Every structure is written in structure tokens, then in C-alpha cells.
Amino acid sequence: MRTRGQTRQPETRRCCGGSASMKLLALAGVMIVAGNVNAQVFIVQPSIHSRLTYSDNSRATENGGGDWIAEVTPAIAIARDQGRITGNLDARLRSVMYANDSDRNTSFVAMQGRGQVEAVEDVLFVDMSALVSRNNRSDLRGRSSQDFLSTDSGNETRIFSLGPRLHFRLGAGPEGVASYRMNWLDSGSGILSRTVENTRGQLSDPHAFGRVGWSLDYSRADTRYDDATDSEVSEEIARATIFLYVSPQLRLRAIAGHESNEYSVLSGESSSITGAGFDWNPTPRTTLSATAEDRIFGRSYYLDFNHRRPLSWWNVSYSRDITSSLETNGSVFDDPAFRSLFDALATEVPDPFEREALVRQQLGYPGIGLRDTFVTNNYFLARTLRGSVSLVGARNVLTLSLQRRERSRLGEPLVSDPRDDLSLFNDVETRSGTVSLSHSLSPAATLNTSVVRSYSEGSGTSDAETRRTTFSLGVSSRFGRRTAGSLIYRHQRASGTSDFTENILTASVGMQF
């Protein structure tokens, strides 16, 4: 419940599920009580949402039949942004019921939370996060990853993280950070399960010699797979960076280092690192950052460009690097494109909860849940190119977003999982385009529409491809200070490995307390 003088913090939203639903909600309650005792700025926002959906192809199959689906979801969102304990939590108990297919009825908790405890002021922190989500994990089969009807327990992904972080300074000179993080990930009804230990350290002095500075970085990841093979792999990277401040707006950097891993990279298990990059901020509204390195797998790249004008926002990004599901399935606010558009719309949509929902819709993210719903047990080489432009008017937000992702598995698959695309294929490529429009009909009502086209292809010992087109049109409105509702029509067509057509009409009502 919001009290006078409080400010609302943007929440990141995730899904969860499993037999421990009530335990997770109990944990949320404990966090609320503990925060309410000590909080300086503390928000508790309980709510309940109901949704009634008719689908003419509820199983999303070639010859599927229609069904009515009802959902009732009590939820609680909490946030604290000051004091020794800070963070946020969004927990929902989703109960989904089918009129003609009761075997698919399910109840599960959807949750996302992250926070920190400042154990020693400005020195020692404990970071923690939890994420439980149900989204389709395959780009080639079933519904789209953004579909709220993907509630099968086999799609559930659980990620938990906990560890200390130490900040220190060596006299009046370099500053350092050392951290240790335990990460647990499992998905696909336990088929995909692993534990990752991350050890990181950094020591830096960006202005050690006036315009010249330096940084030392070290990271190690030890991954253990909890399956019959009980296999373990590790990755270790060390870098030294020299900074040169050409001007207040331009910083150059040169990079040298060494890395090793056990992912069966073709060029070998260890290699030196050499690279260069720059950060350029010509105006307060424009940023460009780029880095290129020679690595164990070839050349790695990172590019991120953001430009804001009074009535538009532009973003272009490209990356090529080794990664994993633990690294890509973070908060939506970890995505520079999402964060930039979220900040750009602060004036037009002051309420951060409504703004997050709008940005998710504009960029084609799921309404709640994972930032990247692609979940695999394998480490992979990812190449991602994305561009977005948003035009902001007095009553409209129009966004065009284009994206291309290529994922190549490193080594042989460790676990055979029919829901894991990289256990079935060596390479998976997805290209997509999204056009979204939000139009304010009145101070209380908004028209939202979007079109999404995508093409996904898996290749290797076998091949598969799926083309999708999704169109949605809906109206949302506030009926009072704490009550809102919406009516949405969606058409979805898939052809190829996944072949179906579906029309959906959904009416929903939500109330805050």
C-alpha cells in the first residue's frame, strides 16, 4: 500500500511456477514484513487480476479446437530504494482453468526479485536474485515466447543467485571490487539443471596519470551439470586495459589479456586477448561505445549506440561473444535498449509500472517474464544485431524494432532435451521485426496495436524452420483510481515445423488495494 511521500520504483517482472508455489509466496510475505519494519522508502502494492480468453485453437496445433480459458491472479509488488536493504519483488499466483480441457488446469507462482544487503557501509554487500518463469523456450515449436498461454510446466525456468561483493580502495589510488556469486538454473521439468560459480575481481584507476588510466579485470566461471554425467566445465578470463582521455567526450582504450575454457572451441582451449575500443559522448543525448577483440573463438565485438531527440529515440547494438542462458536471462532493465527507452518515456508516462508495460509492448518483450526466453543447457557463440527507433508524440508512441540473432553451440550437447533447440541443432538463427503503436484515446483510455514477423531456422544434423506472424489490437482503460481493464484481439499464424493458426479474444480486469 502506498503511503504519502513515497516514490514508486520501476519493477522488473518475471514468472515462476512449480510445486513450491505457496512457499514462494510465504517468502514474499516475509520479505514484506522485514522491509516494512526498517524501510525508509517502502512500497507495497497488492493487487488481483482476472482474465477471460477465448481461443479457437487453444492447443496451438494444426487442427486444434476452441476453448475458454479463465485466469485469476492475486499479486504483490514491493520495492525499497533506501537504507541497508534495497531491492524489489514481483510475485503472482497464477491460476489457469480450461473449460473443455481440464487436464491442462494449473496453478503456479510467477515471480522476479532482486536486491542487496549492505552488511558493512560502502564496503561489503550481499547480492541476491530470484526468477521463476514459464515461457516457450523454443523458437521453432509451439507458441511464440511472448504468449501468456504458454503455461505448461515443462516450460518453467528457475534461476536463483546469491553472493557477497566487496568494495575497497588502496590508499588514495586504485579502487577495487571483488565478488563471488552462486547461480542455480533449472528448466524443462528438471532436464536442464546446473550450478555456476562466478568469481570476479577488478582493480582500476581511470585517472592514474591524468589523461591516462588503467584497469585489471579477472573472471572465472565453474559450471557443474546436475545430470547423470555430472560433468564440469570452466572458463577463465584476465584482461588489462589502458584508458586515454582524448577529451571529456572521448575515451580510447587498449586491451590485452588471456583466456581459457573447456567448451570445445575449435581454435583451442586457451588463447591471448588483444583489442581496442572507445566511448564517445558528443552530447548529453548521444552515446556510442564500441569494442573489438581477438579471442579464443575468433573476433568478438560490442557496439551500442543511443541517440535521443525531443520526439524520438534511436538505438543500434551489435555483439558477438560466448554466453549462456544465465547471462542472457537477466532483468529487462539490464538491456541498454530497454533502459534507454524506459528513461526516454519518463515525462510521457510518469508511472513506472505503466511505463514498463508500455516499453515491453513497444519492443516486443513478453508482458512479464524473461528478457530472453531462449534457454539452453549449452554455452554458445551468440551474434546479435538489433535496431530500434521510437517516435514520441503528444498522444502516440510508435516503435519499429528489427533484430537478428544467431546462436552456435560450442562442443557437443551435454543433455538431450527436446525443448532445448541447441541440443537438437548446431545453430539456431532468428530474425524478427516488430511495429508497435500506443495511442492515447483519452486521459483514461489507450489503444495498442502491434505486428510481429519472425523467421527461425535450426541447422546441423537435422534442419527445421518456422515463420510466424502475430497481429494484436486492444484497448485498455482505467475505470477508477485503482481499477483498470482491457479488451484485446490477437491473430497468430505459424508455418513450418510449427504449423497452426489461432484467433484469441481476451478481456481482463485488475484492481489494486
Q: What is the pLDDT of residues 120-174, one digit of tens each?
A: 999 999 999 988 888 887 888 888 877 888 888 888 888 899 999 999 999 888 9
Q: Which one has a higher pLDDT value, 191 or 400?
A: 400
CB 90 within 8 A of CB 13: yes
d(CA 26, CA 36) in angstroms, rounded, equals 15
With residues binned 3-state (H G I as helix, E B as strand, rest as coil), the percentages for the chain, rounded to 5, are 10, 60, 30
Predicted local distance difference test score (pLDDT) of residue 374: 77
Alpha carbons within 13 A on the beta-carbon side of 416: 0
Predicted local distance difference test score (pLDDT) of residue 155: 82
Predicted local distance difference test score (pLDDT) of residue 351: 67
Is a pLDDT exceeding 80 seen at residue 23?
A: no
Predicted local distance difference test score (pLDDT) of residue 194: 76
Predicted local distance difference test score (pLDDT) of residue 264: 76
What is the mean predicted confidence (pLDDT) over 297-319? Answer: 92
Predicted local distance difference test score (pLDDT) of residue 189: 57
Is a pLDDT exceeding 90 seen at residue 326?
A: no
Predicted local distance difference test score (pLDDT) of residue 25: 42
d(CA 265, CA 379) in angstroms, rounded, equals 10
What is the mean predicted confidence (pLDDT) over 419-441? Answer: 90
Distance from the Cα of residue 94 to its chain's centroid: 20
Domain architecture of the chain: domains with CATH: 21-512 (2.40.170)
Predicted local distance difference test score (pLDDT) of residue 367: 64
What are the tens digits of pLDDT across the range 369-397?
Answer: 566 667 787 889 999 999 999 998 888 88
To 5 degrees, how large is the angle CA 456–CA 460–CA 464?
A: 35
Predicted local distance difference test score (pLDDT) of residue 45: 87
d(CA 481, CA 84) in angstroms, rounded, equals 33
What are the tens digits of pLDDT across the range 231-287?
Answer: 788 899 999 999 999 999 999 999 999 999 888 775 568 899 999 999 999 998 999
Q: What value does the CA radius of gyration of the chain take, rounded to a whole number of Å? A: 23
CA dihedral for 473, 16, 46, 102, sign (positive or negative): positive
d(CA 458, CA 414) in angstroms, rounded, equals 18
Q: For residue 284, what are the β-bridge partners?
A: none
Predicted local distance difference test score (pLDDT) of residue 24: 45
Is a pLDDT exceeding 50 seen at residue 37?
A: no
Predicted local distance difference test score (pLDDT) of residue 4: 31
Q: pLDDT-based confidence at 34, cuts 50/70/90?
A: very low
pTM higher than the cut 0.75: yes
Predicted local distance difference test score (pLDDT) of residue 382: 93
Q: Which one has a higher pLDDT value, 134 or 230?
A: 134
Continuous segment of H or E residues that includes residue 404: strand 396-409
User: Percent of the chain scored above 90 by pLDDT?
Assistant: 50
Predicted local distance difference test score (pLDDT) of residue 18: 39
d(CA 14, CA 90) in angstroms, rounded, equals 7
CB 37 within 8 A of CB 44: no
With a CB cutoff of 8 Å and minimum separation 6, the contacts of 481 are none
Distances in Å between the Cα of 134 and the Cα atoms of 24, 287, 388 are: 15, 35, 26
Is a pLDDT exceeding 50 seen at residue 30?
A: no
